Amino acid sequence: MVNESETAITARRNEVGITQAEAAAKAGISLATWRRFEQSPGLGYRADTIRGVERALKLTRKELTNRLGEEQPAIAVQTEKEKAWIAPWNELWGATNCPSISPLMACAIEAALDSGRDMLESALDDRNFDPEEWPVLAEFDSRIFIEVGENKPWYRALAKRMQHLVDAMGKGQLIDESCECFADAALFGAAVRDAIATWDDDTEAWAGVSNVLPIENDGVESPAGFDDGDDDDDDADRWDLFVGDLDDRMPYREWDCVFAEYRKTRHLLNHRPVKTWFDEPDHELEAFRDGFRRNILALELMGPPPSRPEVRVWVPEESDENDS
């Protein structure tokens, strides 16, 4: 007799239209492990195994747990060998020159980038590939994907940039040190958003990773008002502080124009087409925004997002007769 949990997983796999062998390959696990998960998802599994299952079934953690009902996937206790990376990671990110990010937050961002890259690469050859279904990319305004169209090499290049950012974080580098093109800035910002959205679901997978804000290199302690505890309010405060700091660290100031709620994507794409996202860093848009105070695109990019659709009409200001 097939139990309810197995039926739920099998039913979803059939919805996706893949065999057990194909699902195991997409998840990056053995066929035996996949079959065991379909039969007994409530047993202890490695965190990357569960993320692989989510990837193969195209489900978020919340969607997976909803389908499983009472028998939730459990994170297996890590062996000493599996935990060997934790102490060096805590030391690396505990000594960062960014006082607003904890080792656990850095871990969440790196995991978002790595998982997003893995899922993107595994899905690229799918007949019904949809970038908006995948972590990190799902944060982008859909008009970006309309602009890209069926350009698979563009997405492969994007996956390589995500791997570059993962490698950089493994060296303790944030985006101000690792950014080599506009795609890096956009992807890092999207990964931060994804890490925040999945924070409650994923942090249990990294037991032992410190969530204490580091001490700055000059010996000044982290900003006042932050405890060493892991309460929800403390976590929200940490992320708010980091996101505020992130804007100062981004080499490209228009990095957040890729997100739909800012309603700046159309203007961004007019000046920075997707085919230029992998070009070496330039200061063209920065000069464009700073050089002429009456330029309507510069004003729109720098201004807050409009609360409703507006028709903007630019009327040049008359110069002041007293201007020298």
* Same structural domain, 70 and 99: no
Boundary of a domain, candidates 192, 220, 253: 253
Boundary of a domain, candidates 75, 99, 130: 75
DSSP string covering 212-281, please? SPPPPTTSPPSPTT--SS--HHHHHHHHHHHHHHHHHH-SSTTGGGGBGGG--HHHHHHHS-GGGTTSPP
Tell me the CB-side half-sphere exposure of residue 58, using CA atoms within 13 A.
Answer: 20
Task: Count, in order, helices (H) and strands (E) of the chain.
Answer: 16, 2
DSSP string covering 170-221, please? TTT--HHHH--SHHHHHHHHHHHHHHHHTHHHHGGGGTT---SPPPPTTSPP
User: Could you read off the pLDDT of 28-56 as tens digits, one per residue?
Assistant: 788 888 888 888 887 777 777 887 888 78
Integer Cα distance of 172 and 244 in angstroms: 20
Integer Cα distance of 164 and 1 in angstroms: 47
* Same structural domain, 244 and 217: yes
Please give the pLDDT value at position 303. Answer: 54
* Same structural domain, 100 and 241: yes
* Same structural domain, 94 and 223: yes
User: Could you read off the pLDDT of 160-179 as tens digits, one per residue?
Assistant: 999 999 999 999 999 888 88
Reported as a pLDDT band with limits 50, 70 and 90, residue 231 is low
* Same structural domain, 60 and 174: no
CATH (domain of 8): 1.10.260.40
* Same structural domain, 63 and 107: no
Q: Which comes out higher in pLDDT, residue 75 or 17?
A: 17
* Same structural domain, 46 and 153: no
The answer to whether residue 289 scores a pLDDT higher than 80 is: no
Integer Cα distance of 293 and 282 in angstroms: 20
User: Could you read off the pLDDT of 97-108 as tens digits, one per residue?
Assistant: 888 899 999 999
User: Could you read off the pLDDT of 128-170 as tens digits, one per residue?
Assistant: 788 887 789 989 999 999 999 989 999 999 999 999 999 999 9
* Same structural domain, 225 and 130: yes
Integer Cα distance of 70 and 41 in angstroms: 10
pTM of the model: 0.71
- Residue 262 belongs to a domain: no
Mean pLDDT rounded to a whole number for the chain: 77
Boundary of a domain, candidates 50, 75, 100: 75
Tell me the CB-side half-sphere exposure of residue 87, using CA atoms within 13 A.
Answer: 5
Please give the pLDDT value at position 216. Answer: 41
Pair of tokens at residue 71: 């028998």
- Residue 300 belongs to a domain: no
- Residue 143 belongs to a domain: yes
Give Cα separations from 214 to 91, 124, 183, 217, 222 (angstroms): 10, 38, 28, 9, 6
In angstroms, the first-to-last Cα distance of the chain is 88
* Same structural domain, 22 and 166: no
Domains contained in the chain, number: 2
CA angle 52, 32, 68 (to 5 degrees): 55
Range of the domain at 241: 86-253
CB 104 within 8 A of CB 203: yes
